[in-house]
Amino acid sequence: METFYDVHRQYDWEEVKASILAKTEQDVLVALGKPYRNIEDFKALVSPAAERHLEEMAKLSQQLTQKRFGKTIQFYVPLYLSNDCTNQCVYCGFNSNNRVGRVTLNHDQIIEEINAIKALGFEHILLVTGEHPKNCGFKYLKEAIRLIRPHFHCISAEVAPMSTEEYRTMYEEGLYAVYIYQETYSQTRYPEYHPGGVKANFRYRLETPDRLGMAGIHKIGLGCLLGLEDWRTEGFFAAMHIRYLEKKYWKSKYSISFPRLRHFPGSFEPNYLVTDRNLLQLILAFRIFDQELELSLSTRETPVFRDNVFSLGITLMSAGSKTVPGGYAKQISEVEQFAVIDNRPAQVVREAIEKQGYEVIWKDWDQSLQFNFLNHAH
Ligand code: SF4
């Protein structure tokens, strides 16, 4: 069976990069003027030639987003269940070579976290674990979902890749969305960042969204770790990936996230600094390319950036995040997977959003519609 791996191998990274850099202002204007954009148009929108048209792109992106989603932003909160991991991603604080205290929450600790998170008002929770098959693999997650399901309207997960069968079981247990980040689409450079563990297998990771599609998961989220390799080329491959999935697994919905590596003394240094303007251009390009897509922005970004950019295309945001297991109930902030830069409490972020005339949605509306439909159908 064909997977995205077969599509990916038809493209040469350097050729794609050169073709993006060669896009002209005329190509950008053509892309902006079309009602439906193809992958060549996407290349134009992320090209240096489009940098002079950011304002125009922002207006169009905002218009398209409001037309499809209204003036709303959905909120979610991540729940870190475990920082145990057998992988060696060189950019991550949880990598198995790091001597950090390993914690996998037991049932009582999960309940404590649930209570602390519920008090903040959230209905959409994202379960996050490291990748440790024994300590926080399929069985652990299945039990965790059973425990968490009655308390939240919507459960998503950002966990180790699984088999199609395992995803089917998760779906039946009530898992709504799965986010799986390729980190980089450069097969040549991938091993340098992922020297050991299951994640070292580029192909297995790249084919994970195919397995999610086959399992019928409602929403599938992709993303690249911006800063590892050229962001324009990463964007192209992620856009190709989305379009491939949308055609093949058309019942699922899709999401894209924009995790960005920053320069922090003493931590992993990004090879390609992605500026605020670069990130904005990428967000706008995705929205203009695909109006159905959920675009997600996390607390890795500054309050100023988030407040200025959310209305230009974003539809999903985290707020008040703790990226350490037990962080909500115990207020711990050591050994985080990544530094939270927007530290504002969720209610403060909500106020900042509402000040701009937007409504914060604490539930996932697609799932609300689905449940309403099911309720009416019975
Ligand atoms: S990025 Fe994920 S898989 Fe890689 S070391 Fe960190 S927790 Fe493990």
Give the DSSP letter of residue 188: T
- Please, which pLDDT band fits residue 339 given cuts at 50, 70 and 90? confident
Domain boundaries, the chain: 4-377
Asked if residue 311 has its Cβ within 6 Å of ligand 1, the reply is: no
Pocket test for ligand 1, best of 131, 181, 204, 267 (most atoms within 8 A of CB): 131
Q: Residues 284-291: what's their mean pLDDT?
A: 98
Q: pLDDT, tens digit, for every residue of 103-116?
A: 999 999 999 999 99
Q: Residues 286-292: what's their mean pLDDT?
A: 98
Bridge partner residues of 317 (DSSP): 75, 297
Pocket test for ligand 1, best of 95, 159, 182, 183 (most atoms within 8 A of CB): 95
- Please, which pLDDT band fits residue 331 given cuts at 50, 70 and 90? low
369 has a pLDDT exceeding 90? no
- Please, which pLDDT band fits residue 373 given cuts at 50, 70 and 90? very low
Residue 324 has a pLDDT of: 86
Pocket test for ligand 1, best of 87, 103, 179 (most atoms within 8 A of CB): 87
Of 171, 172, 250, 181, residue with least CA distance to 209: 181
CB 285 within 8 A of CB 57: yes
Query: What is this structure's pTM?
Result: 0.95
* Domain at 4-377: CATH code: 3.20.20.70
Asked if residue 262 has its Cβ within 6 Å of ligand 1, the reply is: no
Residue 374 has a pLDDT of: 42
Residue 255 has a pLDDT of: 98
Q: pLDDT, tens digit, for every residue of 201-226?
A: 999 999 999 999 999 999 999 999 99
C-alpha 78/C-alpha 346 separation (Å) is 12
3-state helix, strand, coil in the chain (%, to 5): 50, 15, 40
Measured in Å, residue 191 CA sits from the centre of ligand 1 at: 14
* 135-144, 188-197, 199-208, 256-265: the lowest-pLDDT one: 256-265
Asked if residue 131 has its Cβ within 6 Å of ligand 1, the reply is: yes
**In sequence order, what are the residues at sequence separation of 6 or more whose Cβ sits closer than 8 angstroms to the Cβ of residue 239?**
39, 42, 285, 286, 289, 290
Residue 101 has a pLDDT of: 85
Residue whose CA lies nearest to ligand 1 atom number 4 = 89
Asked if residue 87 has its Cβ within 6 Å of ligand 1, the reply is: yes
Query: Helix, strand, or coil here: 108?
Result: helix
Residue 112 has a pLDDT of: 96
Of 155, 203, 212, 152, residue with least CA distance to 180: 212
